[in-house]
Every structure is written in structure tokens, then in C-alpha cells.
Amino acid sequence: MSDELSVHQEHKLRLKRATSWFPADESLLEAMTLVSAGAFRLFVFLCLKADRHTATYSAGCRPLALSAATSKNSLRRYMVELQTRGLCSITPTRSPRRGTTFRISPEFWPYKSVEDHSNRASPDDYVAAVRNHFLALRCTSGRFGPAEERQARELQGRGVRLQILEDAMLVGACRKYVSWLNNGFSAPIASLRYFEPLIEEVQERPFAADYRDYLRMEVKKLAGLWSQSTAKYTGDLWRRDLPGAGRCKNGPGTVIDAEATKDGRVCEEEETR
């Protein structure tokens, strides 16, 4: 018996895969008794795909139906069933790309939530922090009114952590400044909707701390370059001495080789913005 025990101790169980697994406990067995087989299969799929920190997963109806191997009509029925039985909450978003956000209920989520600032913050504190980040970018409209406050509360309701949102804002600001420096002035960032696709990018590929610090410095550097270029442009207009067709060193219309392209995230601002 002792020999058999020692063999088991020497050969500890190991996961075959380090990712794409989900710790199932008694709550999963309970969920199985509460809903139909189709709804339970959808629930297991959501658990496997959900963000471990926020217990959320977002997808459109069509791709979700394909991934869960069911029809759109059945999917809608299963969604109602899951929400009615309290297994998850469901929040439609205004972004077609993001689709619907599912949040697994704490009673059926095996992970303990990591209490970061965004989770501890009251809605007012969250909105205040988002407002400060938004206005500090200096490439926005400079306005953060009731519409933006509603957007911020919606993001918090979807489980978007402040750190994720700030990272998305940094990427967006870098892209906007690079676009201005390369192509001239265009409309500033006027809404948090601008950052919706960037939030997805950051959630899929989280930042390392050193890259976040780098982007903060890059935003300041690019903002300084843009400020210098507009000052030079204004001065040249005053002297009626514009070089070429409004092209001045580091000025509107001048192509700049921004170093903010470390991993290709920054210089993807659409030319039409």
C-alpha cells in the first residue's frame, strides 16, 4: 500500500494543456439541473471563453451561434433561459462588432474576483477616472458631458476595467496624433465609442507594464510634436511664408516616422478619421 502511495506522489497529475480549460465544481452540476441541454451547452461554452478576471464574454449572435453549433433562433431561446434562471446576465451593446456581452453570475463562477480599482470604485468614481483620462489625452473634443458619462457607466456595467480602458485610450491617442502629424488635422476624438474596437484589442492582447509606461511617454511626445507643428503653422500663416503647400517640418501633412509602432498597435489610425 505504501509503495502504491509513493508511486502516486511521484506521478502528480498534470494538465495536458495549460490553456483553454475551466475548473468545474458543484455549481456546474447545479447549472445542469436548472436549464435544458442546449442552454447548458451554451453556458459551458461561455464559461470556457469568458475572461477569467471579469467573467464576461462578448460576441455577435451569428458567430456565437456558429461557435456553439446551434441556430440563431435556438440561441436566442437559450439566452433567455440562461438569464431567466440566473446563470448569467446579458447586455446588448451598440457595437455590431462586439455584439452582446454575457457575464457569468458569481454563484456559478469558480474564480474569486480580483478586486482592482475599477471593481471597487462606485459608478461616480469610475466615471470621474474615465473623464480625467479622456480629457488628459488632449486630442479629444475637450468635452465630457452626460452622453460620455452614460458611455462610461455602460463600460463599467460590461466589466471593462479602468486599466483596460486607459490602455485603449493610450493606443487611440497615439494613432490620432500620428494621423494628424502625417495627414493634417481631422476631427478630434469626441466620444468613448472611438475606443470600442481598441478595448477588444487590449483585452485580447493585454499590455505589459513597461509597454504601458512607454505609451504614456509616447502620447506626451506626440502631443508635444503636434503642438509645435501647429504653432509653426500658425506663425508661417502670419508671415505669409508657408513652405510649399502648407508642409512644414513636423507640421500638418508631414510624414513622421513614429517609434510608437513597437508591436504594430499604434500606427493603425484610419486615414479617413
Query: Residues 63, 100: contact at Cβ < 8 Å?
Result: no
* Span 8-18, average pLDDT: 65
Residue 147 has what DSSP assignment? H
Of the CA atoms within 13 Å of residue 17, those in its CB half-sphere come to 5
- pLDDT tens digits for range 87-146: 998 877 655 556 788 888 888 888 875 544 444 567 788 999 999 999 999 999 999 999
CA–CA distance, 76 with 80 (Å, rounded to integer) = 6
Q: What is the pLDDT, as a whole number, of residue 35?
A: 92
User: Over the stretch 42-79, which tens digit does the pLDDT of each residue have?
Assistant: 999 998 888 877 788 888 888 888 887 888 889 999 99
Task: Compute φ and ψ for 150, nearest 5 degrees.
Answer: -65, -40
Give the Cα separation of 46 and 86 in Å (integer).
14
At 27 the pLDDT is 87
- The Cα-based distances of 244 to 1, 65, 107, 230, 247 in angstroms read 90, 56, 66, 16, 6
Q: Is the pLDDT of residue 271 over 60?
A: no
Higher pLDDT, 71 or 249: 71
The three-state secondary structure class of 270 is coil
Q: What is the torsional sign of CA 93, 97, 102, 103?
A: negative
Angle made by CA atoms 261, 188, 203, in degrees to the nearest 5: 50
The CATH 1.10.10.10 domain(s) of the chain lie at 22-108
Residue 259 has pLDDT above 50, yes or no: no
Nearest to 256 by CA among 269, 245, 244: 269
How confident is residue 182, by pLDDT bands cut at 50, 70 and 90? very high
Buried b (16+ CB within 10 A) or exposed e, 30-57: ebeebbeebbbebbbbbbebbbebbbbb
Range in 110-114, 160-164, 184-188, 237-241 with the lowest mean pLDDT: 237-241
Q: What is the pLDDT of residues 197-245, one digit of tens each?
A: 898 888 777 777 778 888 999 999 999 999 888 876 555 544 444 343 3
CATH number for region 22-108: 1.10.10.10
Rounded to whole angstroms, the Cα distance separating 38 from 257 reads: 53
| Cα 233 from Cα 243, distance rounded (Å) | 10
User: Is the Cβ–Cβ distance between 135 and 142 less than 8 Å?
Assistant: yes
Res 89: pLDDT: 86
- Residue 39: what pLDDT? 92
User: How confident is the model at residue 247, as a pLDDT?
Assistant: 40
| Phi, psi angle pair for 143, to nearest 5° | -125, 135
